[in-house]
Chain A
Amino acid sequence: MIVFGKQEVMVSGLLRGYHDVGGRPAGPVEKTTHPFQPWQKTGEAMRVALELKSRLVSLDELRRGFESFGAELYSSLGFYERRAEALTVLLDEKGVLRRDEIVARMREIAAGRGQSVDFATRTVR
């Protein structure tokens, strides 16, 4: 609590997550449509299958994942992208798959397609 003159002021929102966007200003709602991509289906399905099979990654854990990887990254990613990032965070945290193993495999797959990955900008060329 902070006291300004005689008025007591509670400072809230210090613990407000960046994902907690309800009420914040934002741009127009775009009524565009995008198909459900195969990689998005696979990503969702892997998380669900891991939960069904071994209770490995619950939905609330996945949410905690994207609520903890930082506001900057959260801002730059769409719905399915941030869930994919969160899955990697959690698999790494649980010691199931280390991030460096996933990164190495991403390089290999990309190389096989004649592509390269820029991990700093999260782009594939």
Chain B
Amino acid sequence: MNDRKGRFVSHPDDDATVIEGHAGADYYALMTEATRQLLIERGLLIQSDIDAVIASLEAPRPEWGAMIVARAWRDDAYRARLLADGSGAAAEMGFRIKEAQLVVVENSPTLHNLVVCTLCSCYPRSLLGQPPWWYISKSYRARAVREPRRVLAELGLVIPPEVELRVHDSNADMRYLVLPMAPADSGTLDEAALAKLVTRDAMIGASLAGKDATMPFGRSKPHG
């Protein structure tokens, strides 16, 4: 690559392959228990502090995001508010996004959005819960920005060449929710039924909404 003065910029470690390690789970479980005991003994935390946070980690789930998506599909005014101010529109439905500002990005027949965090694993946890394993994997973090179409194909989603693929690197103070397209045959469903069509992966951009969520785009032709 070149800098703005046209000088070639060399990155000596460009080709260092990312290593996917999963060592030490038992060891770190033990370290966590030792730390917990010591923090409580020293009076730095009480168990109920920890339990309260665990409850707040366990409560959010993809169904919360799905309710927001379903509302946006049925209510154009809500959809407009959601796209303008994700956190505000989520709060309208009782979901407080605590860790950052929520930005909602909308898929269309000409645009598909995909979310990644290359530096760690930022994710709208206070809305959707913990991210899936593949999202926090180093392979996904490394490759989703450079070869997103290949990564999506591996995950079962082929993006047609005429559709723009837009990757969002969630690296700072925003968290991202993809607003998928409503399945073509969902026109008569109510919000509760629509929400059932919205998967976690669809809200990351790794699949489409609908029963055949892992099928390629081509299937969702309008009926009639």
Chain A residues packing against B (C-beta within 8 Å): 1, 7-14, 16, 19-34, 36-37, 39, 41-46, 48-50, 52-54, 56, 59, 63, 75-81, 84-85, 87-88, 91, 96-97, 101-103, 105-106, 109-110, 117, 122-124
In the assembled complex, the Cα of A82 lies from the Cα of B45 at a distance in Å of 22
In the assembled complex, the Cα of A12 lies from the Cα of B5 at a distance in Å of 15
Query: Which residues in window 1-46 of B have CB below 8 A to A?
Result: 3, 5, 7-39, 42, 44-45
Shortest beta-carbon distance from A50 to chain B in Å: 7
In the assembled complex, the Cα of A31 lies from the Cα of B10 at a distance in Å of 34
Shortest beta-carbon distance from B206 to chain A in Å: 9
Pairwise interchain contact B31-A36, C-beta atoms closer than 8 A = no
- Is B190 part of the binding interface, using a Cβ–Cβ cutoff of 8 Å? no
Which segment, of B73-81, B114-122, B215-223, faces chain A? B114-122
Chain A minimum-CB-distance residue to B37 = A105
Interface size on B, residues (CB 8 A): 69
In the assembled complex, the Cα of A92 lies from the Cα of B102 at a distance in Å of 34
Q: Which of B17, B31, B44, B54 has the largest number of chain A CB atoms within 10 A?
A: B31
Chain A minimum-CB-distance residue to B2 = A10
- Is B142 part of the binding interface, using a Cβ–Cβ cutoff of 8 Å? yes
B42 surroundings in chain A (CB, below 8 A): 96-97
Q: Report if A25-B28 is in contact (Cβ < 8 Å); known contacts: A33-B133, A53-B49, A109-B33.
A: no
Q: Report if A46-B18 is in contact (Cβ < 8 Å); known contacts: A13-B13, A29-B143, A102-B34.
A: no
In the assembled complex, the Cα of A88 lies from the Cα of B32 at a distance in Å of 9
Pairwise interchain contact A14-B12, C-beta atoms closer than 8 A = yes
Shortest beta-carbon distance from A106 to chain B in Å: 5
Pairwise interchain contact A25-B17, C-beta atoms closer than 8 A = yes
- Is B140 part of the binding interface, using a Cβ–Cβ cutoff of 8 Å? yes
B49 surroundings in chain A (CB, below 8 A): 49, 52-53
- Is B130 part of the binding interface, using a Cβ–Cβ cutoff of 8 Å? yes
Q: Report if A22-B118 is in contact (Cβ < 8 Å); known contacts: A8-B7, A122-B24, A124-B30.
A: yes
Pairwise interchain contact B57-A33, C-beta atoms closer than 8 A = no
In the assembled complex, the Cα of A33 lies from the Cα of B62 at a distance in Å of 15
Q: Report if A33-B34 is in contact (Cβ < 8 Å); known contacts: A13-B12, A19-B120.
A: no
Chain A minimum-CB-distance residue to B156 = A31
A122 surroundings in chain B (CB, below 8 A): 23-24, 27-28
Chain A minimum-CB-distance residue to B27 = A122
Pairwise interchain contact B18-A25, C-beta atoms closer than 8 A = yes
